[in-house]
Amino acid sequence: MTDCRIAPSILSADFARLGAEVENVLASGADMIHFDVMDNHFVPNLTFGAPVCKALRNYGVTATIDVHLMVDPVDRLIGDFLDAGADIITFHPEASAHIDRSLSLIKEGGAKAGLVFNPATPLAYLDYVMDKIDMVLIMSVNPGFGGQSFIPTALDKLRDARARIDASGRDIWLEVDGGVKVDNIKEIAAAGADTFVAGSAIFNHRRDDDPNGYDSVVRDL
């Protein structure tokens, strides 16, 4: 198994103290930050845009920022997030009229690119882009909100995606997103995921006796 990565989703963080929250969760041992962008069009919720990503960079965040675009159309925002310092940009294939071109926009901008698969979205979208992508993101909830329950069918989908990635021979990360908790992460890892988004599992379990607030829960994941 390649290295594993924990990517806290800031959707569950305290937005009023976002810089400090990100600093603390990274100091607690997280590997990168998952940045959920929602437009109240592609998904029924509205979060934050590229200026907030830029603000985190200006605050001094140097860790990998993994931007999950739940927006439609996607292309215009790709440029904004490249300028704002995103390291990874993933999008839902349903939100792009030209998937190959959207992936190229991300790559030409110097970021890593990935596709995001909702629970019912087939992995067939991978058939002609395995040479272009750096990450596959499997949604284990329907996108739009944190704190939802893990959808078990995601395990078989992870196994399928892992087989596709291994067959490609490329270094492609396999990220899982939604309902990841201390009590299911081992099973999810066994299904082939190597990168784990966790929002409520982390930010809802801050402990005052932890040096950075989240040390215990990040260690437990």
Token reading at 187: 């099973």
Q: Residue 58 or 204: which CB sits closer to ligand DX5?
A: 204
Considering CB distances under 5 to 8 angstroms, the limit depending on partner class, which of Zn ion, ligand DX5, none binds residue 93? Answer: none
Cα 108 to Cα 89: distance, rounded to the nearest angstrom: 12
Query: Residue 127 catalytic?
Result: no
Distance (Å) of CA 121 to CA 72, 115, 139 = 16, 11, 9
Q: Distance (Å, rounded) from C-alpha 21 to C-alpha 62?
A: 14
**Least spacing, CB of residue 68 vs ligand DX5, in Å:** 5
Residue 200, token pair as written in the block: 């409520």
Asked whether 134 and 173 are in contact (CB, 8 A), the reply is yes
Catalytic residue chosen out of the listed positions 3, 36, 100, 134: 36
Does the annotation list 179 as a binding residue? yes
Contact residue for Zn ion among 23, 39, 66, 177 (CB under 5 A): 177
Task: Please check whether residue 32 is in contact with residue 63, taking contact to mean a CB–CB distance below 8 angstroms.
Answer: yes
Which entry of Zn ion, ligand DX5, none binds 185, CB below 5 to 8 A by partner kind? none
Tally DSSP H helices, then E strands, for the chain.
Answer: 8, 8
Contact residues toward ligand DX5 (CB under 6 A) are 9, 11-12, 34, 36, 68, 70, 141, 143-144, 146-148, 177-180, 197-201
Q: Provide the CB-side half-sphere exposure for 187 (13 A, CA).
A: 14
CB of 203 to ligand DX5, least distance (A): 8
Task: Please tell me whether residue 92 binds Zn ion under the rule CB under 5 A.
Answer: no
Which structure tokens are listed for 96?
A: 């792009």
Neighbour-count burial for 40-66, b at 16+ CB within 10 Å, e otherwise: eebbeeebbbbeebbebeeeebebbbb
Least distance from ligand DX5 to the Cβ atom of residue 175, Å: 10
CB of residue 9 vs Zn ion: minimum separation in angstroms? Answer: 5
Q: Which of 6, 28, 68, 206 binds Zn ion (CB under 5 A)?
A: 68
Is 220 among the catalytic positions? no
Residue type, 26: L
Nearer to ligand DX5, 72 or 104 (CB): 72
Question: From the annotation, which residues make up the binding site for substrate?
Answer: 9, 68, 144-147, 177-179, 199-200
Question: From the annotation, which residues make up the binding site?
Answer: 9, 34, 36, 68, 144-147, 177-179, 199-200
Question: From the annotation, which residues make up the binding site for a divalent metal cation?
Answer: 34, 36, 68, 177
Active-site amino acid positions: 36, 177
